Structures are given as C-alpha cells and as structure tokens.
Amino acid sequence: MSCLLQIDQLVTELGEGDSWMRAVDGISLTVEAGQTCCLVGESGSGKSVTALSVMGLLPYGRYRHPEGRIRLFDQQGGSEELLLAEESLLRKVRGGRIGMIFQEPMTSLNPVLTIGEQLEEVLQLHQPELDVTERKQRVINALKEVRIPQAESRVNEYPHRLSGGQRQRVMIAMALICEPDLLIADEPTTALDVTVQAEILKLMRELQQKHGMGMLFITHDFGVVAQIADTVGVMRKGKLVESGPAAEVLTQPKHEYTQSLIAALPERLPKPSRPSVQHDTLLEVRDLSVYFPVRRGLMRRVVDNFKAVDQVSLKVNSGEVVALVGESGCGKTTLGRALLRLQDVTAGSIFLQGQDITHLAAKSLRSLRRQMQVVFQDPGSSLNPRLPIFTTLVEPMRVHGVGRDDEERTQRAAALLDRVEMPTDSLWRYPHEFSGGQRQRLAIARALVLEPKFILCDEITSALDVSVQAGILRLLRRLVDEEGLGMLFITHNMGVVEYLADRMAVMHSGKLVETGVTESVLKSPENDYTRDLLAAVPRLDDSLQLRWGSTAV
C-alpha cells in the first residue's frame, strides 16, 4: 500500500480578533490507498474540523493554521501541499481527487435542482472535456453503481422525493463520480436505520475495493469502526490520544480515554440487578389503528388509507421498560403519539390504569396529562430557549396544582434536579448554557416534575455521545426501578435495548411483528424481519469476532 494522505502536526484554531480556540492540536495521521482510517471521539473532539482542514472548507477569515502540513500524494509519488493552498488548487482537488460525504444529505443536496443536474455539475467542473451525452451516461452509471433503482428515471427526481438511504446513496455517487483517490465520510450513516446503514457500509466497501481509493471515515459508532476500519485514530479535545491498527486499538486499547469509550457502549454496561416483582398493568393498547387518508385528483377525494399503525396490541407495566424498535416509517412515533392522545386514533382502545381514555374529551383528559409525560429526541428544540429552567419546571406544577405555593414548588424542583444529577443552580440558567446531555437530563426532570405514572421516551439518546448516553441510561433505569414508573422507550439502538429494556416489541409496516422478554427476543428472534433487523446491527463484539476472532477487550 502507498501513502495517499499525510497529516503532520496539524494545528487548527478557530475564532477571530484576539479570541482563538485550538480545535485541532498537533495531530498526525496517514491514510493509505485502498485502506480505511476511522477517526473516532466525542462531539467537539475535533474530528470534523480535521476533515474540513483537509478540504479547505473552514469558514473564511475564522480559522488559522499556526503549524502543520497536509500532503496529498499521487500514484507517481508526487505530492501537493493542501494546507493554506491557493483556492484554484483546492477547487481542482475537491471533487476531483478528494470526494466528501457529509452527515446530513438534505442539507448538502440542492432542493431546487434534480439529482441528475447536481451530479452533472460535478462533471462539468472537473471533467469539462466530456460532451452532454457522455455526462448524462456517466450520471446514470454513477446512480446504478450506488444501486439507485430505475436510475434512468430517477435522474429527474428532486432530493425530497427520495428516502434518507437513497439521498445518502446520491451523495456517495456525487463524491465518487470523478473517481477520486480519497473519500472523506463524516458520519455518513448516523441518521440511517440499521438495515439501510448496513447496505450503505457494504456499498462503500465494495466501491472502495473497486476503485482502490483511500477512505477517512469519521464516526462515533464502534460497531461501524470494527466492521470497516483498517486503522483507527481516537481524538479527544483536539488531540490524537491513540492510533494504530483497528484490531489492536479495539481489542487492546492503551489510553484510558479509549478504554472508557468502549466501556461506555450500552452492551458493555454492567446490568443492574432487577427485583422480580409482579407489577400491575399501567398502560394497555388493544387493536389500535391509526390511518391517514390518501387523497388524489382535482377534488382531492380519499382513494385509500395509509395504515401508519395497524391493529397493534401492547402492554406496559409499572416498574418496567418496554422498548419499541423498528425502522423509520414503521409507525413507532405515531403509536407513541396516539398513546399520549396527541394523535387521533382510527380504531382500537387505550387504557390507562384500567380507564378507557381513547375518546376522552380534552377537558377530561387534561387532569390525566400529569400521569402521562414524554421526553423528546431533541431537548434543544423542546425546552423553551427564552425561559430559565426554574420556569420550565415550576410552571407545570402551578397549572396542575402541585405544591402549596411557589416556595414548595421551588424546593421540589431543586430536589428533582438533584435526582437527575444536575446542580441546583441550574434553576436560574437557560437551556443554551448546558451541553446536550445536560439538556436531556433537564428534559427528563421536566417530565418527572408532575410525578407521572407513564413516560414515553422517543429516541432520546440517539444524538448523544456514548459516555453521555451511558449516564442517561443509568439514570432512566434507576428512576424506573425506584419510582415504579412505566416506560415505553422508542429506539433503533439494540445495545440500548439490551441494557435498558425488560421487554421489547418490534414494529414493521405499522404492525407489531414480535414481542417478548428482551433477552429471549435478542437471542432467539422468531420473526424473519426481527432476524434481519438484528443481523444488520453493527456490534463491536460481533464484528471483532468476525474479522479478527477476538471478543475480549
């Protein structure tokens, strides 16, 4: 293998005037042709800034490189210096010799241009010698290569008409259409379902082998790392704290930070002992259906129904966590909204502690709201940015008559912050002053402030780093065990399910295809879809066993 990309003692500082922050602090790494180097670490560690430094895509006038070199080598052994290179050189390199796939394709693709036009634009810039016919054929071939169905007709589609997985395939096609030597992929599978993620990773490996390109792959998912990495670099606070062959770093990590990251994976967390107590049924759903009308024609007549939830029956007991898993669009969130009576139901019944709440009027339902609470995926958008945490916690108590006066309510709010392991002075601060993990703890506190019996958690750990996620999972499990709460936890992370859930339910196309005790379903799934879903999950131990025959860390 020959060296393709060499980064030597790179320093990247961000800021302006007299205020500068060192985002990347003297890192060195190499990417070989035909090999994959994975860069891992928590949010803010400098992974993406490193990639953007290579591409010269940092914000104009807001960065500087006091030290370092970035060299891109060709097959003849020649090299080009990319750090602080002329814009003309960088324009030639970007898309031509280096392709990049960003995390969110909808923010990278132009919504007013067809995918064919966007792919063709890359060829016009980097291979102007091609005529119109050749460009169009190259675009169709590129879409076929990434397995977009009906590529000839899909070239005329706009991005919003494609699924998330298809949009990511288009981004890969755009990055590879000029056959670059190096591909930089920044969290390209984070927002995808596990089955789609497995397909994308398989596709990227095949294309890498076909074209012999090197790949710098940024991720925080160690299961993905174990599947695709040849070498691994672990970043923390801008520094490269550990690097080496993937088998060595993953099975015998030397740095304590790497060890802590691997130990924080949900499937690695020590499971708390749970008393075998028979709990009462808290929430029950019987044959629940939620249909949405499909309208067509000039008069917008209803011609069919989209069955988002189709005859689902489910129970959640007090003192237990039931995990609801499945791919995007399977109906998980719609079912959750229906349980909370935030979505009208088409058929079926919902019982809360034996009371039928399916068709309760808003006035009657208001008194029951304090018993059913929800924690959303993004606390940044669910916490009011204009209100201090004090108001966020105390106002619901005022509305529902909890506490004699504001003094008692303040005491209850302070005690609740301590319960979710947040300092008392958080009461007087605003949401933007907290990290993502802290905001999620505050969102949990808000859900608990009315002392509910049932809590719905919708993908609340999906955007968190593994160490922060571990703390949230321990907190949730402790609250369920000590408070006797019933919890429905919507997720696609099987490691989270394994650690947190007592029982699990699998949804597919609006139906519940399998339910059971978590350990039994994970070890011996009965439904074909469940087996396919579990087989697609990138797990560290399984991938290590498959690639290197080692499972011990």
- pLDDT tens digits along 44-64: 899 999 999 999 999 988 999
Q: What is the pTM of this model?
A: 0.83
To the nearest whole number, what is the mean pLDDT of the chain?
A: 89
Q: Which residue has the higher pLDDT, 170 or 300?
A: 170
Q: Which residues contact 281 (CB under 8 A, 6 or more apart)?
A: 315, 316, 317, 354
CA distance 13 to 238: 10
- Residue 543 CA to residue 497 CA, distance in Å, equals 19
Q: Rounded to 5 degrees, what are φ and ψ at 99?
A: -105, 150
Residue 238 zone, left/alpha/beta (φ > 0; ψ -120 to 50; rest): left
Q: 3-class DSSP state for residue 295?
A: strand
For 94, list phi and psi in degrees, rounded to 5. -65, 125
Distances (CA, A) of 216 to 6, 316, 363, 415: 11, 44, 56, 46
pLDDT higher than 50, residue 371? yes
Summarize the confidence of residues 110-139 as an average pLDDT.
92
Q: Which residue bears the tokens 């107590």?
A: 277
Do residues 223 and 540 lie in contact, with contact meaning Cβ atoms separated by under 8 Å? yes
H or E element, residue 453 = none
List the beta bridge partners of residue 352. Answer: 283, 355
The residue type of 337 is: R
How far is Cα 147 from Cα 486, in angstroms, rounded to an integer?
Answer: 43
Q: How far apart are CA 455 and CA 444, in angstroms?
A: 9
Domains of the chain: 1-97+216-263 (3.40.50.300), 281-380+455-548 (3.40.50.300)
Q: For the chain, what is the radius of gyration of the CA atoms?
A: 26
Q: Which residue has the tokens 């999906």?
A: 462
Tell the residue number behind the tokens 């030290």, with chain if given: 67
CB 34 within 8 A of CB 4: no
pLDDT in tens, 393-449: 999 999 988 888 999 999 999 999 998 889 988 999 999 888 778 888 999 999 999
* Residue that is written with structure tokens 């672990």 in the block: 234
